[in-house]
Structure 1
């Protein structure tokens, strides 16, 4: 799960160009943002978390154990992260790890690590990650696990829950109705894909930097403002340490297989095949109604990455006023997500 950190916004040239265009008439903002950038690049880093041990493997994808051992007791809870950033957001630091906290609540958490795709993976699309990796790994559990999917991992988890036996499904900031993105955002993502598709076809991979650029364009002013605000923080403060952790995570990540990017942009985002009931996984269309296990979704009402309008629409919907990342690792994460998720898992029927 470790990727080399660039210690700066990635790609840096695009960040600097965005800074010039967004703050051209505000030299004070430019100066503060550049000061924040320099401080971020040279700041000391905390000792990284020890990697969770690998217990099972399917190709490049591994199953990591956060529950204390393969024979440890506790209900198995399988976390399915997105592929777009490292899975470490669910195990970010010693005091901001959802999966390690859940271990103290009587669960046996497991974490999917999607690994680093290579050119040989170019033809594995979004549905293929469910079929080739997720479903076979779910099948290795002696009792059906609870699936917890975050972001695009929630989309994959729902498809897997419709095609396998699971004890429950919890989706966290997971998109399903991609038509819930507004017209401006959809046009921007279409333009982004048009720009990077030739490179993706040539490499067989979608570079992480190309995806990061798309996230920045969703709210460029905020991207610049947070570096300016970082310049004003006490470098010894918890707020500064938290900023460094999150920015290092956001600027890391593996590429996506070309087919994954093509299906994501052309079929999920542009055509909304999941929301239209037209997305095919394991040979048939997949819908939320096909999951017969207890299900819940957690939605962040201030989410810019996965707006609330894109959510699945499950009958058990829990909404909180946080953002996409803050709902998992922010100051109110334990209150708004961790504890409600633990309570929901505890209340599930015992598997037979």
Structure 2
């Protein structure tokens, strides 16, 4: 009688072991949740069979189903494969063999949406307050949305005009620029945040979550000003167990919604999102004649080929070649 996933997952549960293995390797919470979702879908697809009973054939069948029946993108299919490979190699202890017969989703090459400087100005003109400041930082420093929201006070160096991006994509730190034009509004914003933090401390709270186990190593650090979020949420959250109150950074959905509405009111034809600011940052630096290696470092790209995609969206048509119709 074969082992059923629902019965085997009792002591300890497979997904608990799976999450533990990812946490030991310092995978992000988002990756952890995503990988667990793929393992659940894989098990359900094979009628709740335990992954120990399955192997290359079942993985192939699942990935092929994703490509053929569900028509997922190549990146989504690769994400599912990565989750299953992690499961077998690091939890079950089984090396996956040949996957050559799997039907791969075709990976298209998409050019990023890039706004002109006039379009960026129009979009930013529809924002105000901290939403404007966050959008301006994403465009002015090439930050991803979560990199912007996870900034802490100590990550901003006003004297050197630098922003330290901690634990970015690929668990990498990098340094990018602090735009000169944003120093004054950012300084004024931090004064307001400091006032709010002082009030939280006076109320007996004012502690934030620290990365890793730093709060155990430095017990007083969570209450220190330098560890506070640059963009904290408006209201304190309450721990239902301990009744402690604190602040997390602002939720990403708030700025995403604000940018979407701003693009609508600015009457932009292009689909503009928070990540569009980052694409526009890189493209406008290239247009300004900056070295592509420098832009690669500012963007935090592992390979320069990733940065090279922006050379295809420069407004120079065919590498500066003049169309013959323009000479008629």
TM range (shorter): under 0.3
Structure with the higher fraction of residues in strand conformation: 1
User: Who wins on radius of gyration, i.e. which is larger?
Assistant: 2
Please, what TM-score do these two structures have when normalized by structure 1?
0.22
Structure with the higher fraction of residues in helix conformation: 2
